[in-house]
Amino acid sequence: MDKFTLGIAQLAPVLGDLERNLALHEKILREAEGQGVDLLLFPELSLTGYFLKDMVPSVALTPRDSRLDFLKRASRGMAIVVGFVEESSDHRFFNAAAYFDDGKLRHVHRKLYLPTYGLFDEQRYFAQGDKLRAFDTRFGRMALTICEDLWHPATAYLAALDGAQVILCVSASPGRGLRPGGTFANAAAWEHLNRAYAQLFTCFLCFCNRVGYEDGACFWGGSEVIAPTGEALVRAPQLEEALLTVTIDRREVQRERIANPLLRDERLDLTIRELKRITRELERILRARAKGTR
């Protein structure tokens, strides 16, 4: 399918209330269905809220939990991405995003980079994901990322090299660095990051951020979709709930990759060789430091 309609649900989930959030998702799914959405994107931890702290175990779900069945059923009509707390078989908890389509759970991404600075404390409550995989969909090859993942350039780089034509980023980004005009510094930074990744890796960058307030933090919204040219196709208002729709034409990826063959010219052999050299050098430094402390 060269063209499809992407929906972005910029919502304000209720902290720790799984049942109310499931009902909210169901309501938005009905609205999106009426607008002809093919793929609907919800924000990071959309089923639970963000600042969960000790509530993490009580809202965690396994991929087979019956409470996800309505999402599986709804995905027979449209593909759906939601954010949730995943409990693994060994009872670890992950900040995760799930991709449902055709009545099945098709892919789960576990957040790779857990911020633990400033107002963030994710490593205290979550385990780190350990893999990034692009995956095939009826809309083309995609990759899922979660918020802080995209503040590390290697994530988008790996996704693009793995064949992703569309990078989906679900986010729960609180506003930081309030500027005199009432805008947030990190909101401007996200716009720069999204545009840079879309242009550098000649892909669509679909960013879904939440809104609302939790624990004194304000989530700013500003969800957007950036084309491979770096053009913003759609952008949501800040601080307000919204359901956006936009047409994605994957042929734009082909056109831009022909015009700017950056991925074609990428030298994986050079990258791997230099990463190995840097790793060896860091290991040598660490060994030297360890000897010096004895």
147-176 pLDDT tens trace? 999 999 999 999 999 999 999 999 999 999
Provide the residue ranges of all domains of the chain, joining segments of one domain with +.
3-263, 267-294
Helix (H/G/I), strand (E/B), else coil: 251: helix
pLDDT band, very low/low/confident/very high, at 278 (cuts 50, 70, 90): very high
pLDDT band, very low/low/confident/very high, at 292 (cuts 50, 70, 90): confident
Does pLDDT of 293 surpass 90? no
**Rounded distance between C-alpha atoms, residue 285 and residue 294, angstroms:** 15
- Mean pLDDT, to the nearest integer, of 180-201? 93
Say which amino acid occupies 196.
Answer: A
pLDDT in tens, 215-250: 999 999 999 999 999 999 999 999 999 999 999 999
Helix (H/G/I), strand (E/B), else coil: 22: helix
Pairing of strands 166-171, 204-209: parallel
CB 25 within 8 A of CB 67: no
276 annotated active-site:
no
111 annotated active-site:
yes
Among 147, 169, 206, 208, the one annotated catalytic: 147
pLDDT in tens, 86-109: 999 999 999 999 999 999 999 999
Among 44, 86, 214, 256, the one annotated catalytic: 44
At a CB cut-off of 8 Å and minimum separation 6, what does 134 contact? 141, 142, 143, 159, 162, 163, 164
Residue 294 has what pLDDT?
Answer: 63
Helix (H/G/I), strand (E/B), else coil: 273: helix
The closest of 55, 153, 157, 168 to 106, measured between CA atoms, is 168
31 annotated active-site:
no
Residue 269 has what pLDDT?
Answer: 97
Among 86, 111, 148, 208, the one annotated catalytic: 111
Please report the beta strands in the chain, taking only residues with DSSP state E, as ranges in sequence order: 3-10, 39-41, 79-87, 93-101, 104-110, 135-137, 140-146, 166-171, 204-209, 211-214, 217-220, 224-226, 232-235, 242-249
Q: pTM of the full predicted structure? A: 0.97
Compute the CA torsion angle 270, 229, 38, 64 (nearest 10 deg).
30
Query: Class of 3-263 per CATH?
Result: alpha beta
Does pLDDT of 181 surpass 90? no
